[in-house]
Structure formats: C-alpha cells, structure tokens
Amino acid sequence: MSTLDLALIGNCTIASLIDRNGRHVWHCVSRLDGDPVFNALLGGTDPQAGFMDIVVHDHTATRQRYLPNGAVLETVIDDSHQGSLRMLDFAPRFQRFGRMFRPPMLVRRIEPIAGRPRITLRLRPNFDYGARPPQITSGSNHVRYVGTKEVLRLTSDAPISYILHETEFVLDRPVTLIVGADESVTDGPDTISRTFLQETTLYWQEWVRDLNVPFDWQEAVIRAAITLQLCSYEDTGAVLAALTTSVPEHDGSGRNWDYRYCWLRDAFFTVTALNRLSATRTMEGFVRFIVDAVARNAGGAIAPLFAMAPGRSTMEEIITSLPGYRGGGPVRIGNAAVSQRQNDAYGSIVMTAAQMFWDERLPRRGGTELYRQLCLVGEEAERVALMPDAGLWEYRKRERVHTFSSAMCWAAQHRLGMIARRIGLEQDSIDWFSRAKGLRQEILRRSTTAGGWLSGVLDAEVVDASSLVLPEVGLLPSKDPRFIATVDIVRERLLRGGFIMRYAEADDFGEPRNAFLLCTFWYIDALAAIGRRDEALEIFNNVLARRNHFGLLAEDVDPSTGELWGNFPQTYSQVGLILCAMRLSRSWEEGLWRAS
C-alpha cells in the first residue's frame, strides 16, 4: 500500500520521491512539472511499471537516512545470507564553470558493504502519464527508453544485458546508474558518481552553513529549508506548492489536485520564511518570478497561479491511464483554480514585491517603475476588495466575500502607501493610506460577529482558520480582543486531535475530514503571539512528531491516526514549520547559557 513515508532528492531542476525500500516512485522527466516517468505513487496496486528499484536476494532489513545537512539519501539493505549493500541517491548540484550545475539527472551509486549480495536492477519508466510503455534501445553502456516526446537514458557500468533482462547478479564492486537526458556522459559512471557525490555533498553542507536557523529544532528547520529549496525551479525562480498531483486530501475524498504550480498567495509567506533563513538567492529568484509574472499580466484580473515556466498548460483535465494514489482517482493534471476569482492574490503580489524596496542585499532594487506597475495591482485590489470570490480555499461552486481576501486587498493598498513613502512620493503615500484606512474599517465592521470574533466571511458567522493570519497581514494587532476571541472560537470549533481544520462546514465535496497542516501552524503562531506559549509548544511538538521518517510533511493529516495525506512535500507546510520554530525557539544566547 502506498504511503507518504517518502524521501525527496533533487537539484532545483528535477526531483524524485523514494520509498522506504529505495524505490523511485515519482519522478517527472526534464523538469519538476514534467511527465512523471516514474509514477508508481499514483499507480494503485499495479507493480509492473513506473518505478526504478533494486531487488536484493533474501532481503531482510532496510535502513535509510539523509547524509547530514544535505539532499543525498543513503539506503542500506541487508541480505540474510550473502551480505549487505548501500545505495546513495542524489541529483547533482554544485558550482561548475562559474555557474550552477544542475542537470536533469538522477544518480544511484550501489556499493557492497559486506559479503557478496545478489541483486536485480529494475528500471521501468513509462510515458504520457502511464499510458505509453517505452520503446527500448541499447548500446554498450546505456539503455534508451523512448517515449512520444521524451527520451530517458540510463548510463551504467553494471552489465547492460542484466539490466535489460532484469537478471540477478552478484554485487562484488560498486556500480552506478545515471538516469537523465538522452546525452552521452563525459566520463566513466564510477568516476562521475564519485566526483558528483563529493561536489553535491559539499554544496549542500555549505548551503546549510549559511542558513540562519533557530537554536531549538535545528534538524527540523534544516530539513524543511532543504525541502523548500528543492521545491524551487531555479531557472525561473518559481516555487511550487508541491511536487506531486492528485494525492487526495483524505481517502475517497475526490479532492485530488495538481499542485505543480506556483500560487501567488504562497509567495508572501514563502518569501518571509526564506528571508528569515537568509536563503537570499532563492528568495530573490522567487520575488523576481512574481514581479515578472505581474509585469506580463499588468492591468485587470490576475490569475491566482502560474506555471513554473513556459511550456506547461494550466488547463485541468482528468488522466485515466493512472488509477491514482491507493487506486483513489481521479488523477488530474492542470488546475481549474487558474480561472477562479481569488482576490487575495493582489495583496500577495504587493507584499512580496515590497521586499525589493527594503532589502539592501538584493542587487535589483525596486524603484519608481516597479511602483507604478504595482499601482495597477493596487487599483484592481481596491475595485474587487469587497466583491465575492472563491477564496483562498478555492471553492468550486460558490463565491462569497471572504475576510482574508478583503484583508489582502487592504494589505495591497497599505503596502503601496509604505512603498510610496519609501521612494519619496509622499502625496501618493497619503492617498494610499487614506484608501486603506476606509477599507480596513469596513472589513473589521462587517467581519466582527456578535460574539466578538472575526468571521471568515463578511456579514456572516463562519469560523475559518484563515482569520488567524490577519495580524500577520497587519489588519489588526494580535493583542486585539477580537483576535483573541477568534483564536478561542477556532480552538472550540476547528481543533481536532491537536490539529486545526480549515473550516468545519460542508463544501463542494462534503464535510472535510482531515486537518490542514498550514492552519495548525497558523494556530501555533497565533497562540505564541497572544502569550499562550506553553500551548503553542505542545501543539508544535505534536506536529513535529507527525513528520514522516525523513522529516517531511504533506498538506494534510488525519487527526485520528496522524497519517499524512495530500500533495507532497507541501511547500506551505515547510514554511509553517520554519516560521513557528523561529518564533518559539530560545535565542542562541539563552540556549547556550542554559546548556552550560
């Protein structure tokens, strides 16, 4: 049975998910959002195709870990009679010829540790989302798997005949599998794997060394930071919501979405996390991606999500060639949310771009030209601020005036006032602040319920976890009695087994069953902000305990069992973990003093 106890390797061009037995079960060819040639994650119970693995004769036990502070996965497999071996899986990433070397390449190095284990190597890709088996050709040191549009090439120093016919052989020396583009490699596989492994390991160690991490929960934050980095597509700067499609929010829910896109609403919180980590280059690339996307769509409505790079459609369709996670389809590619009205996008754009006007580390700073582009966003935000939309939860069959969306439109105006003041346009600043003041009053008046808490919908009483973010946006201070009352009503209505639901009312697919991890992180942050630190710590540690074996999180969690559900790994969940850890951690001075 499929689970989300998966490890992630990648290099900001491609990525792969590997299960507890060392099987690659999800890998999109050429780029993060490409055709998944390894798709066993969505293959139901069919074991015949869509993976790369190794079969060890008389396999008795498997142990796995990431090498410290990096994205190299080690899998040790024991054989009850013949010995043991280890596999090192990674995607090369390091500086080469004055630029980042990050080819669309997976490397698997297999080394005998003890004895002479007997193994079978299996590489079974398929194409067009599992609809088309490959045509196979081979040479003296390679195998080509040919699809309709893509070609996957395996280069190896293992016997090619044994790979083609999946024949068992004795592992008496290290062997290397290099899987990637249809290009000849420039050196022997053993030399390449050893050199690339050393350089990639060193790259990640240096990258982690430059991070700003809290004193407490360093291991969890470092793993979340590496995961966040691996969900970024460095060529354009985009950060994907997750690396998979159609892993449902809960069993049989039908809530199966394609998350291999960049959502505008994620931008502000992701940039905030990257900034606090001092992951400056990734942050800069993401800000640039958002600003460029806005420039291409200046004036009028802006879509809430974008493809990470040209060449991929956002049109949603159902794929029938894969049965889905645990057989629970449908499998969707594309995302119909692209055509929805989601008014919070305007605030996300301005709040993200504001980084460019304040951050002295960025070589490309914001000025009057960017400000004028953002003014178009602000004007549209003012126009739609109190209009119904699908909201941040992307309801498919209804629209209402969502408090979070209106608050984000307010934030667009408020930040434009701050930006105008920053660049010396005082009259513009006064004008934007004046508009924002009136909108803020209207939002708070219409969202405050008779019970004194803030509704998720204007002129109604709807308990919604998104109301927990309003102080972070700046709409009101966290000590405001209305916000404290909101935290209390969220606890009363939405807390399940230590996790927070998005909402409790039925939606297009019925009543939600699993908790949304990001909402739980919002709740933790809110508790800390209003002074309930002990409660925040208890829930935070409960969430940390639900990370998978490799320290990763998906989108959702079953409150009763703790099982992870939803697309994986979920960027927003990593962001929430990072921000909460930084808020709750002791300072380095305090931690070291107490430790001594």
Q: What is the pLDDT along the chain (596 residues), one digit of tens a residue?
A: 679 999 999 999 999 999 999 999 999 999 999 999 999 999 854 568 999 999 998 888 899 999 999 999 999 998 877 789 999 999 999 999 889 999 999 999 999 999 889 999 999 999 999 999 999 999 999 999 999 999 999 999 999 999 999 999 999 999 999 999 999 998 999 999 999 999 999 999 999 999 999 999 999 999 999 999 999 999 999 999 999 999 999 988 888 999 999 998 888 889 899 989 998 889 899 988 988 887 777 666 788 999 999 989 999 999 999 999 999 989 999 999 999 999 999 999 999 999 999 988 888 889 999 999 999 999 999 999 999 999 999 888 889 999 999 999 999 999 999 999 999 999 999 999 999 999 999 999 999 999 999 999 999 999 999 999 999 999 999 999 999 999 999 999 999 999 999 998 877 777 889 999 999 999 999 999 999 999 999 999 999 999 999 999 999 999 999 999 999 999 999 999 999 999 999 998 888 877 55
Answer for the pair 245, 268: CB distance below 8 angstroms, yes or no. no
- In this structure, are 494 and 407 located in the same domain? yes
Specify the residue for token string 């630029």.
99
Residue 363 in domain: yes
Do the domain assignments include residue 1?
no
Q: Write down which residue in 190, 208, 226 finishes a domain.
A: 208
- Determine the residue type at 370: L
- Residue at which a domain ends, from 208, 234, 262: 208
Residue with tokens 């050709």: 137
Q: Residue 299's pLDDT is what? A: 63
In a domain, 454, yes or no: yes
> CATH code at 586?
1.50.10.10
Check whether residue 217 and residue 182 sit in a common domain. no
What distances in angstroms separate CA 220 from CA 232, 391, 551, one per listed residue? Answer: 19, 31, 7
Using CA atoms, how far apart are residues 88 and 107, in angstroms rounded to an integer? Answer: 8
Q: Are residues 224 and 341 in the same domain?
A: yes
Per residue in 170-228, pLDDT tens? 999 999 999 999 999 989 999 999 999 999 999 999 999 999 999 999 999 999 999 99
Statement to judge: residues 149 and 244 lie in one domain: no
pLDDT tens digits for range 349-385: 999 999 999 988 888 889 999 999 999 999 999 999 9
Name the 3-class secondary structure at 84: strand
Specify the pLDDT at position 595. Answer: 59
Instruction: Indicate whether 78 belongs to any domain.
Output: yes
Whether residue 89 is found in the same domain as residue 226 = no
Asked whether residue 153 is assigned to any structural domain, the reply reads: yes
On whether both 163 and 289 belong to a single domain, the answer is no
- Pairing of the two strands 135-138 and 142-146: antiparallel
C-alpha Rg value of the chain to the nearest Å: 25
Contact call for residues 106 and 89 (beta carbons, < 8 A): yes
Task: Determine the pLDDT at residue 452.
Answer: 98
Burial of 234 (0-12, 13-18, 19+ CB in 10 A): middle
Question: Do both 586 and 476 map to the same domain?
Answer: yes
Q: Which domain holds residue 167?
A: 7-208
Dihedral angle, C-alpha 585, 549, 24, 227, nearest 10 °: 0
Q: Which residues, other chains included, contact 361 with Cβ-Cβ below 8 Å and sequence gap of 6+?
A: 280
Tell me, yes or no, whether 544 and 422 share the same domain: yes
**Is residue 413 included in any domain, yes or no?**
yes
| pLDDT of 80 | 72
* Together in a domain, 24 and 56: yes
**Which is nearest to 30 in space by CA: 260, 190, 204, 198?**
260
pLDDT at 535: 97
- With vertex at residue 528, the alpha carbon angle to CA 527 and CA 529, rounded to the nearest 5 degrees, is 90
Q: Identify the pLDDT of residue 44.
A: 55
**pLDDT score at 298:** 63
Whether 386 and 341 map to the same domain: the answer is yes
Closest of 465, 572, 480, 474 to residue 522, by C-alpha:
465
User: In this structure, are strands 151-156 and 142-146 parallel, antiparallel, or unpaired?
Assistant: antiparallel
Tens of pLDDT, residue by residue over 3-39, are: 999 999 999 999 999 999 999 999 999 999 999 999 9
Contact 348, 411 (CB under 8 A): no
CA nearest 482: which of 446, 529, 449, 517?
Answer: 449
Of 180, 208, 236, the residue that ends a domain is 208
Evaluate whether residue 268 is within a structural domain: yes
Q: Work out the number of other CB atoms within 10 angstroms of the CB of residue 511.
A: 10
Q: How many structural domains does the chain have?
A: 2
Residues 538 and 541: their CA atoms lie apart, in Å, by 5
215 in the same domain as 189: no
Q: Count other Cβ atoms within 10 Å, centred on residue 182.
A: 12
Cα–Cα distance measured from residue 25 to residue 31, given in angstroms and rounded to the nearest whole number: 16
Q: Are 182 and 152 in contact (CB under 8 A)?
A: yes
Answer whether residue 317 is part of any domain.
no
Do 202 and 151 fall within a single domain?
Answer: yes
